[in-house]
Chain A
Amino acid sequence: MGILGSSYSFSCFRAEVPEGLTDVSGWVVRVLSTHSFREEVEGLSKRIGWTSPFEPFSPQFDVASSILGDFAIFSMRIDERKVPRALLKKYLALEELKYMEEKGIKRLPRLVKKKLRERVEFMLLQKVLPVPTIIDVAWDLEEGIVYFFSTSSKVIGEFQGFFKRSFEIMPEPLIPYTMAEGVGGPDLLRGLTPDSFVS
């Protein structure tokens, strides 16, 4: 559940706003606008973009409303179309049969098989509706901390990549290792091994 819920699960990242920016809010709004979610383009199995946590499915992202106090709040929207395996198997088998009959052959060359698979998958992708996933983000611009409302490592990877592409800043996860490095520096951590409390 995201920002609007009553129970929150989130991961934290360090992402400092670039130094020397005179209008931080304006910069965030511009980047969000450039990389906002655009409704699907034919043929793509996955689309990703920023949207509003308040109206994630609205075609118009009111980016100005994403600034709230010290925070920039927005959502990462991923629309993904997936062709069910069974469906792909069925239509691929039909296409293969048709091709072999037309050519009068009994076995398909590997390359043809691959091309048929790509064609069938593309054709089916156009008929499958994309499933949206919305994950909220709150970026404390003052502290340089991002709250990402998911703890799934797969989604976190998508988020880090898209955030980097958008803002040109790689959000660094605040996990025990990076936090320890922040306190002690890499030299003190070198050679540190697990300790036992009972032996």
Chain B
Amino acid sequence: METSPTERGAVERLREMEFLGAEFLTWLWWRCEAGGGLFSIPSVGDVFIQFVKLVRLESGTQSNREMVQCLGRAAQEMKEAKIGLLLGKKVARARLVIKTETITMEVTISSKALDFHGLKIVSGFDDTLEEVTAIEGARGLVLLKLNVLKEARLIIHSIFDQFISRRLDAAVWAREKKGVREWILSLST
């Protein structure tokens, strides 16, 4: 299908702005490690986030992209990923544990589209609830799970909104950036 110049312009703009996702995930890693990973999410409550198992870092653009991917038991052990941060790479993909007051889930988030990969409910999911069993067959269970997915989306998108508000305020961003830089530099010691 042919694309119009306007559409091509929009696609280019989307590509140019892909860096926002990588900056967000890198900032989020800093908030999780240096700031304890606690977030207050409207209509969800307090949420605890932790980086686990997988981190992929990238630098450069399409033609000269460099990538490092680390698989570990916990983010604290991902020394090579942290060396990548020191070299100026940013997080392109990360596996997160998200804990709300009732549910724990695990999901991989990609920086490019902020889409959700392999979301699993780890604990706290009660499929015997009355509102589930009241609906016949698989439909009740589907509704309950959809509400969990909705919560996961609300959490990630709400934290992204928090990030972008800071990113677009030069004075606030300068302070945040300083914090991220100090954290990254501390990883070398």
A binding-site residues for B, Cβ under 8 Å? 3-4, 6-12, 53-54, 65, 68-69, 71, 73, 138, 140, 143, 145, 147, 151, 173-177, 179-180, 183-184, 188-189, 192-199
* Residue contact B116 to A10, C-beta cutoff 8 Å: yes
* Residue contact B18 to A176, C-beta cutoff 8 Å: yes
Residues of A within 8 A of B116 (CB): 8-12, 151
* Residue contact A198 to B184, C-beta cutoff 8 Å: yes
* Residue contact A179 to B114, C-beta cutoff 8 Å: yes
Q: Can you pick out 18 interface pairs between chain A and chain B where the beta carbons lie within 8 Å of each other?
A: A4-B138, A4-B142, A8-B118, A9-B119, A11-B116, A12-B114, A69-B143, A143-B150, A145-B150, A145-B153, A175-B14, A177-B18, A183-B165, A184-B165, A184-B168, A192-B20, A197-B88, A197-B181
**Nearest-CB distance from B68 to chain A (Å)?**
15
B binding-site residues for A, Cβ under 8 Å? 13-14, 17-21, 23-24, 26, 85-88, 90, 110-121, 135, 137-139, 142-143, 145-147, 149-150, 153, 157, 160-161, 164-165, 167-168, 173, 177, 180-181, 184-185
* Residue contact A9 to B160, C-beta cutoff 8 Å: no
Main secondary structure of the interface of B (DSSP, over half): helix
* Residue contact A175 to B21, C-beta cutoff 8 Å: yes
A184, B166: Cα distance in complex, Å:
10
Beyond A9-B118, A147-B153, is A197–B161 a contact (Cβ under 8 Å)? no
A4, B173: Cα distance in complex, Å:
42
Task: Name the one of A140, A143, A183, A198 contacting B164, with C-beta atoms under 8 angstroms.
Answer: A183
Residues of B within 8 A of A177 (CB): 13-14, 17-18, 20
**Nearest-CB distance from B66 to chain A (Å)?**
14
In the complex, the chain A residue whose C-beta lies closest to that of B180 is A197
* Residue contact B17 to A176, C-beta cutoff 8 Å: yes
In the complex, the chain B residue whose C-beta lies closest to that of A196 is B88
Residues of B within 8 A of A65 (CB): 139
Q: List 15 extra interface pairs beyond A4-B138, A180-B168, CB under 8 A.
A: A3-B142, A8-B116, A8-B118, A9-B118, A9-B119, A68-B142, A69-B143, A140-B150, A145-B153, A147-B146, A175-B21, A179-B160, A179-B164, A180-B167, A197-B88
**Nearest-CB distance from B175 to chain A (Å)?**
13
* Residue contact B115 to A151, C-beta cutoff 8 Å: yes
* Residue contact A183 to B161, C-beta cutoff 8 Å: yes
